């Protein structure tokens, strides 16, 4: 066998490993970017909650249990460390927010308050953004997993220790949708 042929084959193999390694790194970075967007949207939701609670408290202060549930679940969500605990805490927070918004239905003055309506609209928009960001992140994770599992990139992934990433999954049906808020004033048109 010619020495130049051996060098060419080795160079092609090295080039192939480099190309596959770079594709895996790019896919992993895209997954991290997508999850960073989810974190940004979660933080936005967390930032809206104190204002929402304060507004509801002004009109429905005696609904203490619902208000405390939102505050407590928000605190747990902010403190959750690992992704599984964070998902569970965020699901619980979404359910608590939904209950708080449902309580607002019984208070016409609260529903008529422009500040409350603005907060509820912003929260609904944030929930929509969050749902989109989670779907996008799951898509990025799936694409990354495809790369990890297909030949020949699976060889490079195993050799360099690329690990699978978590998909976002909702455990209960109530967290699968943003809370619905009816903001009609109920008055004569």
Q: Give the SS3 label for residue 23.
A: helix
Task: Identify the residue with better confidence: 175 or 123.
Answer: 123
Is the pLDDT confidence value at 135 over 90?
yes
- Looking at residues 28-46, what average pLDDT do you find? 94
- Residue 114 and residue 152: Cα distance in Å, rounded? 58
**How does residue 22 score in pLDDT terms, banded at 50, 70 and 90?**
very high
Helix extents (H) in 61-188: 64-79, 83-104, 108-112, 114-149, 153-160
pTM over 0.95, yes/no: no
What are the angstrom distances between the C-alpha of 105 and each of 59, 74, 94, 180? 12, 22, 17, 11
DSSP state for residue 187 in the 8-state scheme = S
Predicted confidence (pLDDT) per residue in 44-55, tens digit? 999 999 999 988
Cis ω on the peptide bond leading into residue 70 (within 30° of 0)? no
């Amino acid at each position: 066998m010619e020495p130049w042929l051996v060098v060419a084959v080795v160079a092609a193999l090295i080039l192939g490993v480099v190309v596959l390694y770079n594709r895996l790194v790019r896919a992993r970075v895209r997954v991290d970017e997508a999850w960073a967007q989810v974190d940004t949207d979660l933080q936005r939701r967390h930032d809206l909650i104190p204002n929402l609670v304060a507004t509801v408290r002004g009109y429905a202060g005696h609904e203490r249990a619902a208000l405390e549930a939102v505050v407590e679940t928000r605190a747990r969500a902010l403190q959750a460390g690992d992704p599984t605990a964070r998902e569970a805490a965020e699901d619980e927070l979404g359910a608590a927010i939904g209950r708080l918004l449902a309580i607002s239905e019984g208070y016409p003055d609260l529903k008529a308050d422009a500040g409350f309506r603005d907060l509820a609209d912003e929260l609904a928009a944030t929930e929509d953004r969050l749902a989109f960001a989670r779907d996008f992140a799951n898509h990025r994770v799936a694409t990354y997993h495809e790369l990890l599992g297909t030949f020949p990139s699976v060889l490079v992934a195993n050799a360099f220790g690329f690990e699978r990433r978590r998909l976002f999954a909702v455990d209960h049906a109530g967290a699968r949708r943003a809370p619905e808020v009816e903001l009609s004033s109920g008055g004569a048109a």
